[in-house]
Amino acid sequence: MNTRSVRRTGISLIAIGAALAGVAACGGSDSGSSKGAPAKEQHKAGSDFSPVAALQAVQKKTDGAGSAKVEMTMSMGSVMGLQGGGALAWGDGTTGTMRMKYTQGTMAQTMRQMGAESIDARYLRDAYFANMGPQFAQSLGGKHWIRYGYDDMAKLMGPAGAVMKDQMQNSTPQQGVKALLASGDVKKVGTEDVRGVQATHYSGTVDVAKVVGGSSGLDAKTLEAFKAQMTQSGITTDTVDIWVDKDDLLVKKTERAATKNGEMNTTAFYADYGVKVSAEAPAASDTVDFTSLIKPKASQQPS
């Protein structure tokens, strides 16, 4: 593989890695609206009431918090390993900043070939921007940032890109709660310590082919959107565990899913809900659009 091919592959991997990290950290797509439980059914997560009623309260409280600091790790078969941290906000699209490092797999190998294993990412409502540092910038005419527009990704990647666009524009951490509700077999495991915080642990496994209806606490539209998203993502089963503090806020989430590219494992920790989050697009003079980098020039011969 020549230098040009490595660079184009790396640019595509940045798109996948940064998008997956943002989705994993912020919890996945929140397609459609979900109906919360009536006021009389809302209870504290740590109470003795049913897990469904308790998680409906968690869903509402976490969604309404608006932002949080996040630490996450993610792996997918032999394809990738990733760790990152930053601050993200949700509600009007996913916004915020994260720093990520590729730790293993073919993606990490390719990134090392380009002299960069870590990237800084800025998430805005219609796009995210990735900065791989000064060495990679030399191959971009001195520009440090690559812009990945969600509309462009949706067009180029087909159904997978459309799913990714939806996830990046509608993510909230409470998607993990929604997955548990959709599983139909959510269980309260017990109370555990999570980084010094006493938290109630819930667990469940979603079988996409057996996504439940009325007993989930989700309306039909939300349930169908959730099932379609999982199917398009190549996920057949998804085991979700969440830990919730006394204020009905997520403090930890793990997911283990079977995908077309191998088992995907993610872990995310949440803290400082309501933190101020700001992210601005980099200067246009220091930015290049990824669509102009992945299209081969007509004069170039295939490598």
Compute the 3-state secondary structure of the chain and give helix, strand, coil in percent, each to the nearest 5: 35, 30, 30
Q: Name the band, by pLDDT with cuts 50, 70 and 90, for residue 156.
A: confident
Going by DSSP bridges, is the β-strand pair 95-104/80-89 parallel, antiparallel, or unpaired?
antiparallel
Assess whether pLDDT exceeds 60 at residue 40. no
Residue 277 and residue 95: Cα distance in Å, rounded?
8
Per-residue pLDDT averaged across 49-54, rounded? 78
| Domains located in the chain, CATH noted | 3-294 (2.50.20.20)
pLDDT digits (tens, 9 = 90+) for 216-262: 455 666 667 666 766 666 667 788 899 999 999 999 999 888 777 77
Assess whether pLDDT exceeds 50 at residue 51. yes
Give the angle subtended at the CA of 129 by the CAs of 124 and 133, to the nearest 5°. 145
pTM greater than the 0.75 cutoff: yes
Residue 164 and residue 166: Cα distance in Å, rounded?
5
Amino acid at 142: G
pLDDT digits (tens, 9 = 90+) for 76-130: 888 889 999 999 998 777 899 999 998 988 888 888 877 777 889 999 989 999 9
Q: Yes or no: say if 237 and 257 are a contact pair by the CB < 8 Å rule.
A: yes
